[in-house]
Amino acid sequence: MNQLIYFVIIGLGIGAVYALAGLGVVTLFTGSGLANFAQGDLMVLGALVAVSVTSAGHGYVAGLLAAVAVVAVAGVLLGALFTLPMRHRRMDVDVVIIGTLGVATTMTTLAGIWWGRQPQRLDSPLAGVFVPVGEMRVPAHYVLLLVGAAVVFGLVRWFHRRTDIGLQLRAVASSVPAARDAGVRIGRMLVVAWTIAALVGGVAGVLVASVLPIAPESALPLGVNGFAAAIIGGLANPAGAVLGGLVVGLAETLAGGYLNDTVRQSVAPLVLLVVLVLRPGGLLGRARGARTV
Amino acid sequence: MTTIAPAAPARRDVSPARHWRWTQPGLLLTGGALVLLIDPGPFDLRVITLVVAYAVAATGFNVLVGFAGIVSIGNSVFLAAGGYAWALLATSYGPLVALLAGVVLAAVIAALAGVLLLRLRAYYFAVATLALGTLGTVVVRNWTAVTNGDAGITNVGYIKVFGLSGVPSIFVAAVVLLALVSFLQEALRTSPVGQAMIIGRYDPPAAEGIGVSVAYTRVVAFVLSAVTAALGGALIAQLAGGAFPDQFATTSAISLLVIPIIAGRGWRWAPLVGAAIVIALPEYLRFLAEYRLVVYGAAVVLVALFLPGGVHQVVRAVAERLGRSRG
Amino acid sequence: MAERRPAGTLVGRGLSVSFGPLTAVDGVDIEIGPGECVGVIGPNGAGKSTLLNLLSGAVPADRGSVRLLRGSTEVRLDRAAARVRARHGIARLFQTARLVPDWSARENVELGVRTAGPAAWLEALGLPTSKRRAARRARAAEEALARVGLVERAGFRSAELSLGQQRLVELARILVADARILLLDEPFAGLSRSAREVVAGLVAQLRDEGVGILLVEHDLSQIRKLADRLVVMDHGRVLAAGPVEETLADPEVVKRYIGDVELEIGGALEEPAAPAPQPVAEQRSGPPMLQVRDLRVFYGPVAAVDGVSFDVAAGEGLGLVGPNGAGKSTILRGVAGLLRASGDVELAEQPLGSLATPDRYRRGLAFVPQTLTAVVDLTVEENLRLSWLTGTRADRFAEALDRVGELFPEVLDRRSEQAGALSGGQRQMLAIGRALMASPRTVLLDEPTAGLAPGLVPIFADALARLRATGVAVVVVEHNLGLVRAACTHVLGLQAGRPVWHGPTERFDAAVAHEVFLGAQPDTTQEEQVHS
């Protein structure tokens, strides 16, 4: 029983990371209609910047702030890059996919050149702190992950619900033509959406780096799991991304804990495929979402 | 009636639909013979053969993304099906059985996955195929009884044609296969099946309105992409001297996806031109050392964003310019 | 009972479909016999296109049946997908041409030739016999193109063809498919006079050959020419049906459509739906608030707006009227910067140049679109705030909100509900409310009363008058002449993108209206040019 609770806490912590990865994907998708396959790389970027700053002796908070700043700049740049051609035409799905995959290749390689390919772990003040669960002790980090994810989710939600820029973002998300008719500056909102997605990814990267060692090549699995989380939830639904992330994280941890590593690796894709076959629009997506194209 | 079509200029046919079907296969075979005559040396020949192998694999993908407008990031599964079928069967049952087995295996997986997943919207389908590819890699790595896990299967032999041996033999086989699939690609495009794919991608409601089953054409396109991927996978395994999980991982699926798009979706030369860019270019960018993948990635981004028609767009623009200055 | 009708009749019974809270088609019965042309008219949003979608299978019906009679038997098509119905000979022409732009006209027509199963596959494999089959298909396509008079254009990319030619290519595709039932959605919209004649001739020919035709059309002269029977729709229901002239004279139709010039020009002007207009700013004091000079907007090669100029002073109202396709909405979108336009637009004597839409709004322009009037996923208040944000912000949000509340209290009562939950009338009130939030100096409105119950029209006329009273210049595109007369000081009549009449509202009488709406349309010569 205690073991189960232990695995559940660990699983929820890992799930929180996937939830944040998925939240980044969803934020961008609702804001701009783009699916970003480089979301994992933004997480890695945040993580590695934080590792560099912290290991230079500046402390965890400085690392987090530096990561946020760098990732925000990356988000603005990517946003500008991807918004430019959209002024004149709608981008096809395949173009978006290979465009963001190209960004992913570039960022992964650059990160490898700058930081090396070795996995690195982020030192944090919580290192060595454990939360007792019966006879077992859960690293406090997993709790931090959950709290951090909740805070980020809350902030993003607050921004969308309570600010004027958030209002315009939601207008764009609901309908680009209607928002354009209403005078919303679509291009600017797209850049904002990219920036928020990048920020969410960067913070998620910093949070996860204390638990899992992060290498440039971690971007792909992180991104894939984030996508799994987002798609399971329904791609256009932030709460769905959180639900999807927690489902994937829990399933993975339980499968790894009670079965074996092979099953653990297959869980995320399997859950994704099963959900999509049964509910083509995702768990919280619209039921009629199964139209082609 | 003349009011609608006043004094038409001389009749012309802008549509490239009626190429003579043997032009492309003929050019490919001639080009292949020339390469053998020039004898470019072992490294270059290996690279060129890999390019042709990927071109074979990407031909079906060109149909998938160019005709039917479907994006899959999981076609590494079909490469693996072809590669492992070759590795397991070629030495004991001969090349034909090995190739066919790979093709059938890939087609069956594609048909099942297609029926289940092709009703998904674009991004959902892309991510679902990504999951399929990931799952395929996990199976290949862990089903050691059949695939020998990470160590892979070595000593898989290769196809011997025209009394050649070694890489030249694989090269010739690859060129012949490419000529064949290119012929089929062109035949498909001008046939009702291919036309149904294109209209189904361009305008699904209109396609249904003229009696086309869009769902059916989509599954067919997906199966075709699996078939050529299996052929390509078998060639890649022969060239590498074995089947290994890393050959058929997500990166290869991404390469397959980038090939037709960077060269121009649906263009009949897209598989070869795209494979040359995606496979050969990084090999010859080695002087950039660690930055070559940065250059490659940035090039992909820029083409995707600012040149959505790929190389074909450039070729067409140049051809038009030439045509105008001439006449 | 089915036996009394001739074989080949398409029968729809009790067809209904809802999209969310909106019932688009509500229990419609319709029959199309072989060799018969049934016209369908009704205001925008009456459900005409949706009815067509229900018959073609593009949209599944919530209730009702669709049957194709075959002598003593019948084929039930209720659950059949569009492609199955297409194979039963039911063809559908979309409002905009649906051709593959990179293909030649002939290839697009070839698509209509059905090559089924194994034969198609043999051809896909490039087997020798395929050449003959392909040649036969090409010949059929050329014959069909010859019938629509386009054989000379067979090799042209369809993107290079004019709108009219594209529509003819689609008709040729239907010819090779040998359709028995033809569903046409405004086949004449946007066509030049000569193209209209060709299309009309072809439709008449097909009808005489025994094809059953359903013709959804705004252009009454074509309906009179082609239709054997007429169905008038309104709010998803059949308002009246029967022989064409009788139905048009039906007092119920005339009564419900007072002011709707598309139906009865005369009635509209003899019985105004609202009190006569009282121009607020009788004296043309000061400079124009909005000045438009030589505005041109192109859709591809076609000039949708071709040299339009007008002035509107503060407190004035200008009504843009004219038949469908005259370019009225396009003018508004061009002025708002939502479409690329050439010509000069000045707002309060400041040239707008090539400013983007948000910058125009910031300078005091407001635009009320016809559809998508609200962001449906946002609440009413959020929609209002969005418009306040993007407007001039001359007042504080609360003040602007109060102003809307004064005019449309029932909208503000539902401020925390989603805009999508509002009724049609409330949505339109919200749309105008949003224009008010921006504290604009000029408001452009695109058919504010489209699809509304006639009883609501005076409310909007009153709202526009009050708007003008505050010194706002108003430009309104409107089909309902009653509203135009009640709310506008001036009228600009348009045909095919060009101004044909301009003057004060008092002088816009029945004769002028008749001329604007039913007069000979100028030929658009540009359209016939082939652009490469």
B246-251: average pLDDT = 83
- Chain B hits for C83, CB-CB cut-off 8 Å, are 207-214
Rounded to the nearest integer, the mean pLDDT of chain A is 85
* Residues C51, C157 share a domain: no
Strands in C395-460 per DSSP E: 442-446
- CB atoms C376 and A178 under 8 Å: yes
Q: What is the ipTM of this complex?
A: 0.85
Confidence category of residue B110, pLDDT binned at 50, 70, 90: very high
* Residues C354, C205 share a domain: no
User: Which chain B residue has its CA at the smallest distance from C130's CA?
Assistant: B191
Tokens of C294: 């030589």
Domain final residue pick, C177, C193, C228 = C177
Determine the pLDDT at residue A6.
84
* Domain B22-278, classified CATH 2.60.40, yes or no: no
Q: Does C265 reside within a domain?
A: no
Burial of residue C416 (CB within 10 Å: 0-12, 13-18, 19+) is: exposed
User: b vs e for C460-479, b when ≥16 Cβ sit within 10 Å of the residue's Cβ?
Assistant: bbebbbbbbeeebbbbbbbb
Ranked by mean pLDDT, the top range of B101-110, B188-197, C229-238, C394-403 is B101-110
Q: Does C273 reside within a domain?
A: no
B134-152: average pLDDT = 84
* Residues C376, C404 share a domain: yes
Instruction: List the CATH number of the domain containing A179.
Output: 1.10.3470
DSSP label at residue B17: G
- Using the predicted structure, report yes or no on whether residue A92 has a pLDDT greater than 80: no
Using CB atoms, list chains with 3+ pairs below 8 Å to chain C: A, B
* Residues C163, C66 share a domain: no
* Residues C11, C74 share a domain: yes
**Is-contact A100 A38, C-beta < 8 A?**
yes
Q: Does A141 reside within a domain?
A: yes
In chain B, what percentage of residues exceed pLDDT 70?
A: 93
Confidence category of residue C261, pLDDT binned at 50, 70, 90: very low
| Chain B from 20 to 59: CB within 8 A of any A CB | none
User: Which chain C residue has its CA at the smallest distance from A170's CA?
Assistant: C378
Q: Which residues contact B86 (CB under 8 A, 6 or more apart)?
A: B95, B98, B99, B102, B156, B233, B234, B237, B238, B243
Determine the pLDDT at residue A287.
42
DSSP label at residue C218: S
Q: Does C270 reside within a domain?
A: no
**Is-contact C156 C188, C-beta < 8 A?**
no
Phi and psi at C143, nearest 5°, equal -60, -45
* Residues C434, C445 share a domain: no
Q: Does A284 reside within a domain?
A: no
* Residues C57, C20 share a domain: yes
B3 touches C: beta carbon within 8 Å:
yes
Confidence category of residue C101, pLDDT binned at 50, 70, 90: confident
Q: Considering the entire predicted model, what is its pTM?
A: 0.83
Using CB atoms, list chains with 3+ pairs below 8 Å to chain B: A, C
Q: Which pairs with CB-CB distance under 8 Å and at least 24 residues apart come from A125-129?
A: A125/A60, A126/A210, A127/A210
CA atoms of C470 and C486, how far apart (whole Å): 17
B10 touches C: beta carbon within 8 Å:
no
- Using the predicted structure, report yes or no on whether residue C519 has a pLDDT greater than 80: no
Domain tally, chain C: 4
**Range list of H helices, B118-166:** 122-142, 144-147
Determine the pLDDT at residue C417.
85
**Is-contact C199 C187, C-beta < 8 A?**
yes
* Residues C493, C423 share a domain: no
B73-95: average pLDDT = 89
C207 touches A: beta carbon within 8 Å:
no
Domain tally, chain A: 1
B18-40: average pLDDT = 81
Quote the minimal CA–CA distance from C3 to chain A in Å.
39
* Residues C351, C445 share a domain: yes
Rounded to the nearest integer, the mean pLDDT of chain B is 84
- Chain A hits for C389, CB-CB cut-off 8 Å, are 164, 167-168
Q: Which residues contact B199 (CB under 8 A, 6 or more apart)?
A: B206, B207, B210, B212, C100, C111
Segment C377-412, tens digit of pLDDT: 888 889 899 888 888 888 888 888 888 888 888 888
A74-95: average pLDDT = 79
- Using the predicted structure, report yes or no on whether residue C284 has a pLDDT greater than 70: no
Q: Which of A93, A97, A115, A259 to mutate to test the interface with B (most CBs of B within 10 A)?
A: A97
Phi and psi at C183, nearest 5°, equal -110, 115
Domain ranges, residue A19: 2-278
Q: Which residue's structure tokens are 């209206």?
A: C513
Determine the pLDDT at residue C218.
73
Domain ranges, residue C499: 300-364+441-449+461-532
Q: Does C287 reside within a domain?
A: no
User: Which chain B residue has its CA at the smallest distance from A91's CA?
Assistant: B305
Using CB atoms, list chains with 3+ pairs below 8 Å to chain A: B, C
Domain final residue pick, C156, C177, C198 = C177
Phi and psi at A101, nearest 5°, equal -65, -35
Domain boundaries, chain B: 22-278
- CB atoms B211 and C155 under 8 Å: no
